[in-house]
Amino acid sequence: MKYFLTQILIAATVINLVGKELPAAGVWTQWRGPERTGLVQGAFWPAKLDSLRLRQMWRMELGEGYSGPIVSSNMVFTVETLDKKREIVRAFDRLSGRQIWEHGWEGIMKVPFFSAKNGSWVRSTPAFDGESLFVAGMRDFLVCFDASNGEVRWQVDFMNRFKSPLPKFGFVCSPLVVGDAVYVQAGASFVKLDKKTGTTVWRTLKDGGGMYGSAFSSPIYEKICGKEQLVVQTRKFLAGVDPDNGGVLWKQKVKAFRGMNIQTPVIIGDTLFTSCYGGASILYKLKKGSEGFALTEVWRDKKSQGYMSTPVVVEGKIYFHRRDQRFSCLDPEKKKILWRSPVHGLYCSMVSNGESVLALNQKGELLLFDAIPERFNLRDRLKISKQATWGHLAVAGDQLFVRELKAITVYCWKEPSIFPALEGILGQNN
């Protein structure tokens, strides 16, 4: 009887998987994923969110933190502020949750009063290049670790190196690793470091610290108008920078309340999108002529201001979360917002598999909606944490990594059997 039931379950599994792409092992190596786009390649997500489909693998308690988790082929890396005294980096086994190593340092800070309600915890998400882990401390320094064992390879104190002021919100920008270089907004500037040694290659876009210190947004590396360039949003400007020499290729002033240019810019061809708190949602077009690059504003909507959530782009459409706590779909070609959703949280980190969008809001609620231009279609929602979840959601293969305020929880997608009762019978017989 048990053999017969087993064969039925195997057949059911085969039927369930027909026409579906099995998830690869997957990694999540930096802010917003391997390509820094929030896109997950070849991922299958069930149509619903429930305990049959989304099962907890392990959970580890941590100190407070807003830093997103980093996932290698066999480890998970987290950063936390412990007991309001120390910042700690930890590495866990990806499958079991067993801690492999940790490293910490003394030194914390308090953010300005209007942000203090959300805590003064570590904010920057690390970057992993396959060998080294690059982690930012709140007091404007960057540490390079041997990811296998936690040994420190080098450390840069930007305040000491550049004689720059302590950023009032701490080190917020998430490091970008490209080739042999690490790029960060730190030291009241935009900096390129040699990733092997930490030495400064160039420093540009110096603003002297400005109002309340250094920038929030994280840079991206793109080829636009035939030129590879870094696109970075400071507290005042959206700019393109030559990765070889730090030369500013173009620059556009972007208005935001108290310099809160927080989003990572989004690029579609030669079109750039940004959306700022206290400013507007804006589309720019970049062109290259005989005298260099020129950036032109082609669309603006003040009603759909952004906040901290960086959009995802699916088939040329921009899906973004707004200051008014609603999602919208923007068609950059038609320069038109196609729809807006009901209210869904103050902040949402978003990832997409090209068909759907997973969004984790700060209230610990996971949302699943269709990436379609016709309408907002919410498939399902699930309360996944009782704690605040400001850390960016990470998805690697069939696993979800959720950074709660005081924990890291790892889930696994599992398509439920079409014969769940038989699973229960087999479980009793084992």
> For the chain, which ranges sit under pLDDT 50?
1-24, 418-430
pTM of the model: 0.90
State the Cα–Cα distance between residues 85 and 49, nearest whole angstrom: 38
Q: How far is CA 93 from the centre of its chain?
A: 21
State the Cα–Cα distance between residues 32 and 410, nearest whole angstrom: 17
The CA radius of gyration of the chain, in Å to the nearest whole number, is: 22
Nearest to 67 by CA among 181, 186, 170, 149: 170
| Per-residue pLDDT tens over the stretch 292-344 | 999 999 999 999 998 889 999 999 999 999 999 999 999 999 999 999 999 99
The pLDDT, as a whole number, for residue 416 is 57
Q: 300: which strand partners?
A: 282
The pLDDT, as a whole number, for residue 12 is 39
- How far lies 266's CA from each of 78, 174, 232, in Å? 26, 16, 10
The pLDDT, as a whole number, for residue 211 is 52
The pLDDT, as a whole number, for residue 19 is 33
The pLDDT, as a whole number, for residue 111 is 85
Q: 178: which strand partners?
A: 181
The pLDDT, as a whole number, for residue 107 is 82
The pLDDT, as a whole number, for residue 16 is 38
The 10 Å CB-count burial string (b at 16+, else e) for 43-77 is bebbeebeeebbeeebeeebbbbbbbbbbbeebbb
The pLDDT, as a whole number, for residue 392 is 97
State residue 104 phi and psi, 5-degree precision.
-145, 170
